[in-house]
Each structure stands twice: as C-alpha cells, then as structure tokens.
Amino acid sequence: MIEEKFIGKRLAQLRGQKNMSARDMSLSLGQSPSYINNIENDKALPSMQMFLYICDYLKVHPKDFFNDEIENPKLMSEAFDVLKNISGEQLQNLLKLAKDLK
C-alpha cells in the first residue's frame, strides 16, 4: 500500500535527479510557480492528466513513478532500451558483472 505522502516525496526525488527547481518545473508545465511545491509538500495532488504530463516531463513511466525500488527510473529505462538489443551471451555477461558489482 502506498503511504499518504508518497507522491510528494517521490516527485521531489525524481525532480531532484533533474536538478530542477520546483518553481522552474511548475512553470515548464504551464502551472503557477508554487504548483510542484504544493504537491511535494502534500498540500495538493495533481489531476490524472497533469500526473501524466509530470511523468512525461520527468521521462518516467507512470508505473515506475510508483515503484520506489527503482531509484532512478529514467536511467533504468535507458539501460533497458540498450539491453533489449544485445545478444543472450552479452546479456549473461552483463548480468554476471552486475551481480559481481552488487
């Protein structure tokens, strides 16, 4: 179950990865300067349409927004796009390397 303050905390985390201020993100989305700040501080929730715009802006799939086990969903998505085009043998080698790094 997702905790009550999850959306605000997750939005702040993902926005921080873009090194963008809440004000700049709000204005980039065509909203008031305090829009993202209000969401991050649990004073408001985005509409579904605006949530989808936020995900698109952050380059995060909506399902990944809610998966906080993925710290950086944008990088994970980029990695997946690369990995899906390599051979099985290459993938096994990368998996072994990843396990060794872990």
**Helix (H) / strand (E) containing 29:** none
What is the Cα–Cα distance from 32 to 86, expressed in whole angstroms?
Answer: 44
33-51 per-position pLDDT tens digit: 999 999 999 999 999 999 9
For the entire predicted model, the pTM comes to: 0.76
| pLDDT above 70 as % of the chain | 98
The domain spans of the chain are 6-101
Amino acid residing at 80: F
State the residue for tokens 């952050």. Answer: 58
- Greater pLDDT, 44 or 68: 44
What is the Cα–Cα distance from 60 to 14, expressed in whole angstroms?
Answer: 9
Confidence of residue 82 (pLDDT cuts 50, 70, 90): confident
CATH code for the structural domain at 6-101: 1.10.260.40
85-100 per-position pLDDT tens digit: 999 999 899 889 989 9
Distances (CA, A) of 34 to 47, 58, 69, 70, 95: 16, 18, 28, 27, 43
